[in-house]
């Protein structure tokens, strides 16, 4: 049995759902509440208190990259990591760029800008008790601001942030100029990692407006969604 411990709105949890779907694996989801996080309950699953955490037949794997590689080893078909050394290296670089750079842009846009945060927090808090609904809209944006300022994105004016995001989206557009996928001739972990962050960026007003200018990127996002948002049927 596979159980995914997750926050629904986390791009890293989205990444793992997409990989499981693409590989045709049946899995259960355990949605972790803000209350669970406040109580430290999640540390019973992952001692560092971060999600996603994947339970595969009683063995817990944490960190979305480690989970991706564990799933690739256990369920190698269809593959998401190329065997070609150069392509495998490119997939690694693009996944790390998505996780360690694009992530802070989506966090900044969705949680620290009030007009986006209202929508994001409404989704996050839908099933939470009243006290949490009162406290989180104050605490979470403040926490995210501290994180993004420390990282650097949060120190920039919104005009500069949008300029950065435009360069990122333009670069993805250029990577797709001679093919359907970011690396090689089939979907890989690079596509899944990048779209997991771009889907969050797209939920913001600013990110949505930028992505709308790049039809090649929109078409690619649709291809990845088609391949990874619903479970594939296992091969006969």
How do residues 98-151 score in pLDDT, each as one tens digit? Answer: 999 999 999 999 999 999 999 898 877 877 777 777 888 888 899 999 999 999
Supply the pLDDT for residue 228: 98
HSE toward the beta carbon, residue 217, CA cutoff 13 A: 23
CATH of 85-228, one of 3.40.50.720, 1.10.3720.10, 3.30.465.10, 1.20.1050.10: 1.20.1050.10
**Alpha carbon separation from 167 to 102, 171, 175, 214 (Å, rounded):** 11, 6, 12, 12
Cβ proximity of 50 and 5 under 8 Å: no
How many degrees, rounded to 5, is the angle at CA 96 between CA 74 and CA 223? 70
**Of 31, 71, 78, the residue nearest 51 (C-alpha):** 31
Of residues 186 and 128, which shows the higher confidence score?
186
pTM exceeds 0.85 for this model: yes
Residue-range domain boundaries for the chain: 2-74, 85-228
Report the top-level CATH class of 2-74: alpha beta
Residue 38 has pLDDT above 60, yes or no: no
Cβ proximity of 161 and 108 under 8 Å: yes
H helices of 98-157, in order, are 103-107, 114-124, 130-151
* pLDDT averaged over every residue in the chain: 92
Residue 162 has pLDDT above 80, yes or no: yes
Residue 14 has pLDDT above 80, yes or no: yes
Supply the pLDDT for residue 20: 98
């Amino acid at each position: 049995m596979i159980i995914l411990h997750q926050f629904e709105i986390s791009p890293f949890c989205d990444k793992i759902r997409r990989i499981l779907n693409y590989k045709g694996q049946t899995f259960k989801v355990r949605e972790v509440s803000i209350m669970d996080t406040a109580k430290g309950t999640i540390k019973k699953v992952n001692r560092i208190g971060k999600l996603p955490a994947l339970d595969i037949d009683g063995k817990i794997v944490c960190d979305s990259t480690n989970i991706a590689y564990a799933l690739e080893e256990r369920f190698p078909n269809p593959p998401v990591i190329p065997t070609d050394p150069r392509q495998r290296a490119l997939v690694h670089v693009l996944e790390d760029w998505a996780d360690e750079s694009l992530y802070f842009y989506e966090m900044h846009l969705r949680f620290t800008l009030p007009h986006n945060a209202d929508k994001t927090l409404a989704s996050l808090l839908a099933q939470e008790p009243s006290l949490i609904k009162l406290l989180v809209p104050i605490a979470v944006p403040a926490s995210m601001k501290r994180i993004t300022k420390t990282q650097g994105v949060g120190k920039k004016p919104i005009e500069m942030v949008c300029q950065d995001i435009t360069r990122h989206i333009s670069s993805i557009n250029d990577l797709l100029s001679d093919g359907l996928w970011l690396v090689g001739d089939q979907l890989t972990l690079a596509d899944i990692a990048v779209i997991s962050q771009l889907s969050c960026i797209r939920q913001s007003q600013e990110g949505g407006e930028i992505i709308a200018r790049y039809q090649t990127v929109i078409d690619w996002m649709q291809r990845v969604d088609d391949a990874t948002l619903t479970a594939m049927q296992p091969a006969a």
